[in-house]
Amino acid sequence: MLSSTRVGAALAVALVFGMLGCSVTKPGTPLTRTGDEIVVAGQLFHTGTPVVLWMDPGGYDAYRVEDRFEPRGQHDWDAIKDETDSPNRYGLRGERTMSDEDFERLRGGGWTLEELQDTVDLFVIHYDVCGHSAFCFDVLHDHRCLSVHFMLDIDGTIYQTLDLKERAWHASQANDRSIGIEIANMGAYPPGDDVTLARWYQPDDTGRVRITLPAARGDGRVRTPGFVGYPLRPEPVLGAIHGRQLRQYDLTPEQYDALIKLTATLAEVFPNIPLTYPADGLGRPRYDVLTDEEYANYQGLIGHYHLTTGKIDPGPAFQWEYVTEEARRLLGRRRVETRLGDAPADGTATGG
């Protein structure tokens, strides 16, 4: 039988919890996610759009060293020639320049959110030239031994493959300070080189151009059953990158909707990622490589082609202003005009 002292203490604790509006949760009670969260330094943040994590059924886990799509035991480990000769496809941000003390602390998973927020200031946009996210992970993880934090499928599903604390291998010199996303899109090609575009983009019964996965891909493991994807703009977009004329079909509306919400989330979580893109003196998107000085001083969204002349993604069809303006609208932020080298172009006041 409980003593009056212990009963009184128990009642006091219950009263305090009640006054604070707290409820006592039974040990072993499962917590459920809503299905729109991303993971940043072990913390969950809502995005407002479907997200499949690497730990979810049907997710893509870049922490695992075995191939995702190859039969077990068939990977040729001797083919891996990265800087660590490790089967891992990711690393520790800034490990080459940090002190031994920080290295020992952080390599065990000790990143705080604040440390990560101080480190990350770029959101690198890629297209995958794979057409759908399952094949992207197959190529990137299984065959190229690389990684990226997010993949965006044609139906707008976002797959997160690593905690954002990790240094994914997707953009060479930008890996230490960036978050990367591979968008399912077949890419851009010179005018007249229509073989790939004609195979992947075909008219439906109404004449409207839709994404057509080759028969060998089946349903592409696209998460939305029976999904039919249409580019946001029905005709291929013609534009120049690095002075080369290229044609590309736009992303799907579902992809833009998800990307805008993810972009807004990242801008909210990471104060050093303003909602900007490399622009010329008139505020128009740039389609060339940043100089070393420009790159060192830049923060915000950036394309792979801004980092090297060897890349042209996310291509001429990608709508930089649409993504950033809609992300600002979601966050209630006004636009502030700046140029490369200026202060971050991201006002926090509402309206405007």
Tens of pLDDT, residues 20-40:
455 678 999 988 899 999 999
Length of the chain, in residues: 352
Quick one: pLDDT at residue 87? 79
Pairwise CA distance, residues 303 & 126, whole Å: 7
The answer, yes or no, to whether residue 9 has pLDDT greater than 70, is no
| Mean pLDDT, residues 198-212 taken together | 95
Tens of pLDDT, residues 133-178:
999 999 999 888 899 999 999 999 999 999 999 999 999 999 999 9
Quick one: pLDDT at residue 97? 87
Let me know if residue 149 belongs to a domain.
yes
| Mean pLDDT, residues 324-332 taken together | 96
Structure tokens at 271: 């104060």
Let me know if residue 54 belongs to a domain.
yes
When divided into structural domains, the chain yields a total of: 1
| Mean pLDDT, residues 193-200 taken together | 91
SS3 76: coil
Q: Residue 287 forms beta bridges with which residues?
A: none
Let me know if residue 311 belongs to a domain.
yes
Q: Residue 166 forms beta bridges with which residues?
A: 92
Q: Report in angstroms the alpha-carbon separations of 93 from 116, 162, 167, 168.
A: 9, 13, 5, 9
Cα 78 to its chain centre, rounded Å, is 30
Q: Kindly report the number of other CB atoms within 10 A of residue 110's CB atom.
A: 12
- Mean pLDDT, the chain, whole residue set: 87
Let me know if residue 139 belongs to a domain.
yes
pLDDT-derived band at 351 (thresholds 50, 70, 90) equals very low
pLDDT-derived band at 11 (thresholds 50, 70, 90) equals very low
CATH code for the domain of 108: 3.40.80.10
- Are the C-beta atoms of 123 and 50 separated by less than 8 Å? no
pLDDT-derived band at 341 (thresholds 50, 70, 90) equals very low
Per-residue exposure over 212-222, b if at least 16 CB sit within 10 Å of its own CB, e if not: bbeeeeeebbb
Pairwise CA distance, residues 173 & 342, whole Å: 22
In single-letter form, the type of residue at position 280 comes to D
The answer, yes or no, to whether residue 349 has pLDDT greater than 60, is no
Let me know if residue 26 belongs to a domain.
no
Q: Residue 159 forms beta bridges with which residues?
A: 52, 151
Pairwise CA distance, residues 200 & 186, whole Å: 8
Let me know if residue 29 belongs to a domain.
no
- Residue 249, exposed/middle/buried by CB under 10 A (0-12, 13-18, 19+)? buried
Let me know if residue 306 belongs to a domain.
yes
Pairwise CA distance, residues 13 & 24, whole Å: 11
Structure tokens at 38: 């991303």
- Are the C-beta atoms of 161 and 137 separated by less than 8 Å? yes
Pairwise CA distance, residues 344 & 220, whole Å: 39
Does 10 or 163 have the greater pLDDT score? 163
Domain ranges, residue 274 = 37-69+76-194+197-331
Let me know if residue 145 belongs to a domain.
yes
